[in-house]
Structure 1
Amino acid sequence: MSGKQALRRELLAARALLTAEDVGDSAAVLASTAAGLPELADARTVAAYVSVGREPGTHALLDALRARGVRVLLPVLMDDNDLDWAEFEGAGHLVPAGRGLREPDGTRLGPQAVLEADAVLLPGLAVDGRGMRLGRGGGSYDRVLARLTAAGAHPALVVLLYDDEVVARVPEEPHDHPVDAVVTPAGIRRFRAGSAPGPRRVKAS
């Protein structure tokens, strides 16, 4: 088992112990904190995702962004594990999809639609002090990040996590890409200038 696989197993086991109340309470705090993050507060278009199960909750944040007039793009998983995108038009327009996901029922905009985002909210299991993110291993968001890099697009990259998922070190591979900020119930952490490309880099406080 690789270092990434072992860490994923450990983190998923910890999430499995969370109660519905734990998840709900954390989601409310995360939404309030993330909504005030300048990278999200100043964005006109945000690419986000619909949390499922015991993931750090995004539903309240999606509603808050949309209520503020932000255009929110949500992923649609394609057969090859790449992501298409569609606009979030409210919780009533989310439909069940494969792998337990929920996806928007609107017009598919194509994989390139993510290039319009001022900020991208990435799912993850952990992030370390360098801003390196550990995903679930499916590779969908590796493709998204590669697409952004190839196009010279530099949206703010933000991850929502639980407090204990900010770890000392995430095993990395050459294709891995650091994020700009992590939001946990305890607050916001930004990573050093140089840890992520583009004009939105912010020095750690």
Structure 2
Amino acid sequence: MTTEEVALPDVSHVDVVDAKQMVRGVLRDRRSKLTAKDVENFAPVFADTILDFAADAKTISLYVSVKNEPDTLLAIAALHERGVRILLPKLGPGLARMWAEYTSDDLVVEAPGRPPSPRGEALPSEAVEEADVIIVPALAVNHRGSRIGQGGGWYDRMLKQNVTSKVGALIYPWEFMDRPLPHDEQDVPIPFVLLPGETIQIGR
């Protein structure tokens, strides 16, 4: 289980859209080198970080991890056991991005290539505004809170809604970087970074 820093390409003279794609390619390649055992070893430590960050939240917005993403499944189960209301992304009519409550072990794949989501009723995008804590996926975050996501832009649009300020991005240690990351006016800075065993508030 290695944690060495990732060497990103120089994208200072590249259009921001292309720059993001170049950086994503390197970050995805690094994640692809994780073995199933690596992901398994990180999982309980990520769960502890998520549970600490959630604190006494009544409602939390999370996502279902897939492949080599930092594991969220252990935390989802533990939060459900606590009685926390959990909102997970769900595709609505016309592939609209919506939410659904996690009520039990009822996750299903509703569209090819999409993470599993709850079987229950799709809730409107405004449902996330009820969350006390929001945890978002990322491929990298830097020390100024700039986030590199998967490229869909859904989480940035969601974070521009009237949501809580307790927002954290869940990443591996080598994905928290002390260097500029390509960004534009559509990108929303992240106030917290959730690492295995540690939560960092940006700017402190």
TM-score scaled by length of structure 1? 0.85
Structure 2 CA distance for aligned equivalents of residues 56 and 79 of structure 1 = 29
CA spacing shift, 1:46–1:113, aligned 2, 3 Å: same
Shift of 1:161: 0.6
Equivalent in the alignment of 2:164:
154
Say which of 10, 25, 43 aligns to 2:57. Answer: 43
Structure 2 residue ranges without an equivalent (≥5): 1-13
8 Å CA contact 2:62, 2:86 repeated in 1: yes
Letter aligned with residue 101 of structure 2: E
- Is 2:75 the counterpart of 1:65? no
8 Å CA contact 1:50, 1:58 repeated in 2: yes
Equivalent in the alignment of 1:28:
44
Structure 2 CA distance for aligned equivalents of residues 78 and 138 of structure 1 = 16
CA spacing shift, 1:28–1:123, aligned 2, 3 Å: same
Say which of 20, 24, 30 aligns to 1:8. Answer: 24
| 1:18-167 to 2 correspondences below 5 Å | 18-37=34-53, 40-78=54-92, 82-90=96-104, 92-98=105-111, 99-146=113-160, 148=161, 151=162, 153-167=163-177
Structure 2 CA distance for aligned equivalents of residues 130 and 157 of structure 1 = 14
User: Cα deviations across residues 132-188 of structure 1 (Å, max 9, x unaligned)?
Assistant: 111010122122112x1xx3x334111111110112222111011111211112522
Letter aligned with residue 182 of structure 1: V
Q: How many residues align?
A: 186
Letter aligned with residue 62 of structure 2: A
Structure 1 residue ranges without an equivalent (≥5): 193-203
SS in 1 for 2:50: helix
User: Cα deviations across residues 83-123 of structure 1 (Å, max 9, x unaligned)?
Assistant: 21110112x21001321410100111211111111111101
Equivalent in the alignment of 2:9:
none
SS in 1 for 2:69: coil
- Is 2:203 the counterpart of 1:187? no
8 Å CA contact 1:82, 1:140 repeated in 2: no
Aligned CA RMSD, in angstroms, stands at: 1.6
8 Å CA contact 1:46, 1:71 repeated in 2: yes
8 Å CA contact 1:158, 1:180 repeated in 2: yes
Shift of 1:126: 0.4
User: Cα deviations across residues 54-93 of structure 1 (Å, max 9, x unaligned)?
Assistant: 1111000111111111100000134666421110112x21
User: Cα deviations across residues 20-40 of structure 1 (Å, max 9, x unaligned)?
Assistant: 010111111110122112xx1
Aligned-pair identity in percent equals 38
Superposition misfits of 4+ residues, deviation over 3 angstroms: 78-82
Q: Mean Cα displacement is larger for which, 92-101 or 49-58?
A: 92-101
